[in-house]
Amino acid sequence: MAVGSGCAAEPPDGGSSGGDGSRAAGSSSAVKPAHGQQRSKESGEKGAGEEAGKKARKEAGKEAREGAERADPAEALAAYAQRMKKTQAARAAAAKRWRLKQTPLLAPAPPARKPKITTRKGFEVDHQKGLPPVFTTVPTKKKIVFLTIDDGAEKDPELLRMMSELEIPYSAFLTDYVVRDNYGYFEKMQDRGVALHNHTLNHRYMPALSYAKQKKEICEQQAKIEKRFGKRPRLFRPPYGSYNEDTLRAAKSCGVKAVPLWAAEAFPDHMEWREWDRDLHPGDIILTHFRGKAEWKGSMADMIRNVMKVVTAKGYAVARLEDYV
């Protein structure tokens, strides 16, 4: 049985396309290709802002170390509160520079123990037991969501500056055939604390491939990411959100522990929703793509402005996926 959820990207020659981001499990449909290489211009003002953000984070880190040395718990708590106040003040200044409608909310501290992840009902394959779980939402009662960006086609330096200054966490799922022309861009991303995960070598429609070819797509990308970036991914997202039992078996054989899909998809001018209520829920995973003005009605920065407008207005903060999965 093949399962599909949709993910917009163009496969290389010989690939097939899957469903759109608003479809649930068990369906697939063609998607439009979208790969841009539009570059955003460097901004002196925003570069200065990034330096200011780095300085604020450095000072906060120094205060954290000093606070840890204090024996009085009340003093440590006061120091923490002061740090948070400074962090949010720096975020407010960055939000103004980047023209966000509201200052992003701070995510709560991650749990001491990660929640148990299970496959979402209706997303199972015939012999799901023992295979990596497939899910669209992380189990939590906290008003947090997770931002994930797929493929790597657009390599916009403005995105790196923006996310660093705003301190918004996100995860990247990389496809080698569109990132190999500039691995350095993703090394800079990793240096900023972004986790890099597996989105296959060539963005093929996985259910159409044999087990051996699926294993090649997943395992060879695992090896490439580990060799290039020094860490083997634990998470894998199939192109178009489409998979079958062979996909999950192959992923498990390569060391994949979980398969996060998504509950909503972000664009510069709108959101698309999987759920009938067209709303966010605690623990929802948001998908977007590395795209530019050649494919979108806006830039990567415009997309971030739009998704954060929705997330913040609904009272949610963006948390780091790897802290929960």
Tell me: pLDDT of 257 over 70: yes
pLDDT (average), residues 64-68: 49
Q: Are residues 163 and 245 in the same domain?
A: yes
Beta strands 264-266 and 271-273, pairing class: antiparallel
Determine if the pTM surpasses 0.95.
Answer: no
Report, in this order, helix, strand and coil percent for the chain, each rounded to 5. 40, 15, 50
Is 206 part of a structural domain of the chain? yes
Strand duo 144-151 + 285-289: pairing: parallel
| Model confidence at 35: pLDDT above 70 | no
202 and 53, same domain (yes or no): no
For 175-217, give the DSSP string: -HHHHGGGHHHHHHHHHTT-EEEE--SS---GGGS-HHHHHHH
Mean pLDDT value across residues 169-197: 98
Per-residue pLDDT for 27 more than 80? no
One domain, residues 252 and 305? yes
Q: What is the pLDDT of residue 5?
A: 60
CATH number at residue 245: 3.20.20.370
Indicate if the pLDDT at residue 46 is higher than 70: no
Q: What percent of the chain has pLDDT over 70?
A: 79
Q: At CB < 8 A and 24+ separation, what contacts does 68-71 make?
A: none
Stated as kind and residue range, the H or E segment containing 77 is helix 73-97
Each as own residue / partner, the long-range contacts of residues 108-111 (CB below 8 Å, 24 or more positions apart, any chain) are 108/142, 108/144, 108/317, 108/319, 110/319, 110/320, 110/323, 110/324, 111/140, 111/323, 111/324
Q: Are 211 and 299 contained in the same domain?
A: yes
**Per-residue model confidence (pLDDT) at position 1:** 63
Whole-number average pLDDT of the chain:
85
Q: How confident is the model at residue 25 (pLDDT cuts 50, 70, 90)?
A: very low
Say which residue, 248 or 53, is predicted with more confidence: 248
Mean of pLDDT values over 248-255: 98
| Structure-model confidence comparison of residues 219 and 2, the more confident one | 219
User: Do 89 and 143 belong together in one domain?
Assistant: no
- The 10 Å Cβ neighbour count of residue 1 is 11
Q: Is residue 263 part of a domain?
A: yes
Q: Are residues 212 and 316 in the same domain?
A: yes
Look at residue 28 and tell me whether its pLDDT is greater than 80: no
Are 152 and 265 contained in the same domain?
yes
Q: Within this chain, do residues 83 and 139 fall inside the same structural domain, yes or no?
A: no
With a cut of 50, say whether residue 48 has pLDDT above it.
yes
- Do 22 and 274 contact (CB within 8 A), yes or no? yes
Domain count, the chain: 2
The answer to whether residue 12 sits within a structural domain is no
User: Is residue 174 situated within a structural domain?
Assistant: yes
Q: Is the pLDDT of residue 19 over 60?
A: no
pLDDT at 187 over 90: yes
The answer to whether residues 207 and 317 belong to one domain is yes
| Residue 211 within a domain | yes
Q: Is residue 6 part of a domain?
A: no
Q: Which domain holds residue 89?
A: 44-97
Task: With a cut of 60, say whether residue 6 has pLDDT above it.
Answer: no
Q: 56 with 202, same domain? A: no
| Residue 88 sits in the same domain as residue 186 | no
Residue 210: exposure state from Cβ atoms within 10 A (0-12, 13-18, ≥19)? exposed
Lowest mean pLDDT among 32-36, 92-96, 206-210, 265-269: 32-36
pLDDT band at 76 (very low <50, low <70, confident <90, very high): confident
How many Å apart are CA 141 and CA 129, to the nearest integer?
Answer: 26
Other beta carbons less than 10 A from residue 62's beta carbon: 11
Q: Same domain, yes or no, for 266 and 206? A: yes
